[in-house]
Amino acid sequence: MAKEPTNYTNNSETVVVAADTFSFATVEQENGNATVIRFKIENSQVRPGDVLLVLDGSEIHFHGMIGIIEDEWGVATDRRGSLLPATVQ
């Protein structure tokens, strides 16, 4: 039986941030909303496959998977329900 590698986990985590303090750059947008964003990773335990959840109170503004992390910057995608404005903040 092959042993599973120990350098990753198959359980994704959810990274929750407040919309009013979240800084990001729009990579792609649709209808004025950011659908792919680039943002600074503040926690070294965040991994590709984790989910980014941006909340304004109880309202979800972005809910997407983190696909890439390079040089402490992550890229996440929410092509179906993003409410983040397509701007550089």
Q: What is the pLDDT of residues 19-36, one digit of tens each?
A: 999 999 999 999 999 999
Beta bridge partners of 40: 73
Average pLDDT over the chain, rounded to an integer? 89
CATH (residue range 14-77)? 2.40.240
Token pair 């701007």 in the structure block, residue? 87
CA dist 18 and 22 (Å) reads: 6
The share of the chain scoring above pLDDT 90, in percent, equals 81
Q: Is 50 exposed, middle or buried (0-12, 13-18, 19+ CB in 10 A)?
A: buried
d(CA 69, CA 85): 22
Per-domain boundaries in the chain:
14-77
Does the pTM exceed 0.75? yes
